[in-house]
Amino acid sequence: MSVLTPLLLRGLTGSARRLLVPRAQVHSMPPEQKLGVLELAIGFTSCMVTFLGPAGWILSHLESYKKRG
């Protein structure tokens, strides 16, 4: 490693520290109405089907995938 390498690296990181990053101004309020049991059940069910459906499909057809490969 060169003697100048630490000086060059310090010069590169020093300029990056001076950059200002804008922060998002996010403000929220409590919901106007609470979710009902049916709405929660539909939401949870759709999430479970979305995430577990493809995994279940692959696991149930694993033997046919092994035969092809």
Is 25 within the bounds of a domain?
A: no
Is 4 within the bounds of a domain?
A: no
Is 39 within the bounds of a domain?
A: yes
**49 vs 60: CA distance, rounded Å:** 15
Is 49 within the bounds of a domain?
A: yes
pLDDT in the model for residue 18 = 66
The pTM score is 0.48
Sign of CA pseudo-dihedral 27, 32, 37, 42: negative
**Could you list the residue range(s) of the whole structural domain that residue 44 is in?**
35-68
Residue-wise pLDDT tens digits, 19-64: 677 888 888 888 889 999 999 999 999 999 999 999 999 999 999 9
Is 50 within the bounds of a domain?
A: yes
Number of domains in the chain: 1
Is 48 within the bounds of a domain?
A: yes
Is 44 within the bounds of a domain?
A: yes
Residue 3 binned pLDDT confidence (cut-offs 50, 70, 90): confident
Q: Is 28 helix (H, G, I), strand (E, B) or coil?
A: coil
